[in-house]
Amino acid sequence: MSSSEITYTPEEQVKLNEFDRQVQAFNNFRMVVARSLYQGQDAPSVQQLLQFLHEIASQASKQMEEIKVLASQRLPQTVEGK
């Protein structure tokens, strides 16, 4: 049977962890900004900040997906007994 499990290199795993933390941090920051500052005269500036945070989180998510696709396309390494 073939396994569909994806194995990441140590470098890929580090990048995935970093991007995941970035996505979570930017999304959390975006939620806090949206809840606390969205009213009043700061609304246009806050809207720009929210868009910027959304774009950064999307970019990090896209990079995570690229790593996952590359890892899934790699042939699994097999160890054969002699």
Domain borders along the chain are 10-72
Selection from 78, 81, 73 nearest residue 8 by Cα: 73
Question: Which tens digits make up the pLDDT trace of 32-75?
Answer: 877 776 567 777 777 888 888 889 989 999 999 999 998 888 86
What contacts 24+ positions apart, CB below 8 Å, involve 36-44? none
Question: Which tens digits make up the pLDDT trace of 3-13?
Answer: 568 888 899 99
43 vs 25: CA distance, rounded Å: 22
Query: 23 with 61: CB under 8 angstroms?
Result: yes
Is the pTM value of this prediction over 0.75? no
